[in-house]
Structure 1
Amino acid sequence: MVPEPLLPDSGRRVFVALGDSFTEGVGDRDERLPNGVRGWADRVAEKLAKAQPGWRYANLAIRSKRLRHIIDEQLEPALRMKPTLVTLYAGGNDILDLKTDMTALMAEYEKLVALLADTGATLVLFTDFDVKVSSLLEPLKKRNSFYNRQVRDIAEKYGAVLVDYWCLDAFHDRRMWDSDRLHMSKAGHKYLAGQVLDQLGVPHKIRPKDWEPPTPLGLREWERQQRHWIRDWVLPLFGRKLRGVTLGDELAPRWPEPVKVPRKGGLKKLAAAASAGAETS
């Protein structure tokens, strides 16, 4: 059952997305778009524009950002935009850092939510998903559970819309994940966009992939995939940690200022026009 629409029928329509790689769109590759990715938030913005013309959209999320970075770098610009819809996913990278004090983290998260809720915008929050990356990360499950309990309580306290990512069974299929096993694939981003739109009561035609059951991996194939995953993702990740750098250090927000989303052609149309203008200038 689709809920009643939560968004205004008229007036200002400004959607601002805050967060890290989850919201930037990592895993959903598209070289035609800023930072080479698309993601669920772009898809939500495009469906909003089709349902209600006039929506403007900014996406300030950058991969690898911790909660403190989101507060320091994204909050003030978001407030200046006077949003009517805000999505926030923050804290996932902090959870992966075993030095993080989870109680202190969630206290800061609540302060951020309170400031966003004070704008009067419709606010969308997300729980975390228990990604089955490796048995080495199983100790993080308690931290994930604590985070999710806190997010649910905070969403209720501040009247936020909650997308309970933890409970979305579709993400137990490995095809919903990119090759790094930490970020959603294109199919995962599309599915999540549909979940967000459902919670907002916005019509759409996004449907889950009609896949055949996944083929069980033989031992040899499993070992091959493990070797590739360690070589391509795990070792580079530890290398970056040792050097004190992240994948987001040299990146700017994908849509740093609210752009009017075309009803036809979507954000790819805007990106193409911007690229053509840059080439002729």
Structure 2
Amino acid sequence: MFFFMEQPVFTEATDPFCLNQADAVALLTGAPWGRYAVVGDSLSAGTGDPTPGYQDQGWSDRVAGVLRSVRPDLEYLNVSETGATTAQTLENQAARMVEFSPDLLHLPCGANDIVRRRPDFAEIERTLRQMYDLAKETGALLTTFTLGRAYVVPVFPDWPQRIAAVNEIVRGLASEYGAIVVDMWDHPVNDRSDLLSEDRIHFSTSGQAVMAAEMVKKLALKSREVSGRGK
């Protein structure tokens, strides 16, 4: 006889990986960033189906809302496009990114670069590096994600290996360019049965809330580091 333990049903208020607005604002009080830009694909946009009990909002808009509570004069630009590859991000979004002159800038992590019959990982790294070079010239603090293991495209049997390969590229570039990387690959949220949207690709809003919380925590650490240097 087999016994299956039901997963607990969380709401945003009870989710152990979420932050309520007051706690998130407290973490980022004194944060120095006033011009926040987001470029890339649907992951950058925060695309996902609604989850009962969670605010229907993507991670990037959530983070912008926290920053605006800390800095009411925050300027926020999100020009991300569903389906955009890194090359398309460079072609269609980079000019607006540079013109905006961000001091905090989120970059994509190649999710759409690996949705092809035979991905060229050397080319993916070169293209991502072009993006990092251009982004670094803005002087902004850079942020990015790694892809979660719940993100699956069954038509490609080697999909987990593709994710692992592009995640290693992202981690390497983030380290080289001093970017904050929120590593979602092995986050416990990947094990939740209600994590994915109906398309089985994008995190639902419960996942978006968790990603926002993880980003806020990383930014809080960086903010304290910057403040400490200034003393």
Q: TM-score, normalised by structure 1?
A: 0.63
- Residue 170 of structure 1 aligns with an amino acid whose one-letter code is V
- Residue 72 of structure 2 aligns with an amino acid whose one-letter code is P
Find the structure with the greater CA-based Rg.
1
What does 1:1-281 correspond to in 2, within 5 Å?
9=31, 13-28=34-49, 38-131=57-150, 133=152, 135-201=154-220
Q: Is the 8 A contact 1:7 1:200 kept in 2?
A: no
Q: Is the 8 A contact 2:84 2:112 kept in 1?
A: yes
- In the alignment, the residues of structure 2 paired with residue 72 and residue 7 of structure 1 have an alpha-carbon distance, to the nearest angstrom, of 35
Q: Is the 8 A contact 1:16 1:86 kept in 2?
A: yes
Query: What SS does structure 2 have at the residue aligned with 1:194?
Result: helix
Change (3 A) 1:148 1:7: farther
- Residue 35 of structure 2 aligns with an amino acid whose one-letter code is V
Q: Which runs of 5+ in 2 are unaligned?
A: 1-22, 222-231
Deviation of 1:136 (Å): 4.0
- In the alignment, the residues of structure 2 paired with residue 20 and residue 107 of structure 1 have an alpha-carbon distance, to the nearest angstrom, of 18
Deviation of 1:25 (Å): 2.4
Identity of aligned residues (%): 27
Deviation of 1:92 (Å): 0.6
Deviation of 1:134 (Å): 6.0
- In the alignment, the residues of structure 2 paired with residue 8 and residue 198 of structure 1 have an alpha-carbon distance, to the nearest angstrom, of 14
Which moved further from structure 2: 122-131 or 132-141? 132-141
- Residue 63 of structure 1 aligns with an amino acid whose one-letter code is T
- Residue 52 of structure 1 aligns with an amino acid whose one-letter code is R
Question: Deviations along 1:239-267, whole A, 9 cap, x unmatched?
Answer: xxxxxxxxxxxxxxxxxxxxxxxxxxxxx
Query: What SS does structure 2 have at the residue aligned with 1:100?
Result: coil
Query: What SS does structure 1 have at the residue aligned with 2:158?
Result: helix
Q: CA RMSD in A?
A: 2.4
- In the alignment, the residues of structure 2 paired with residue 130 and residue 61 of structure 1 have an alpha-carbon distance, to the nearest angstrom, of 22
Deviation of 1:98 (Å): 2.0
Query: What SS does structure 2 have at the residue aligned with 1:16?
Result: strand
The aligned length equals 192
Change (3 A) 1:118 1:8: farther
Q: Is the 8 A contact 1:130 1:166 kept in 2?
A: yes
Which moved further from structure 2: 184-193 or 172-181? 172-181
Q: Which runs of 5+ in 1 are unaligned?
A: 31-36, 203-281
Q: Is the 8 A contact 1:70 1:90 kept in 2?
A: no
- Residue 39 of structure 2 aligns with an amino acid whose one-letter code is L
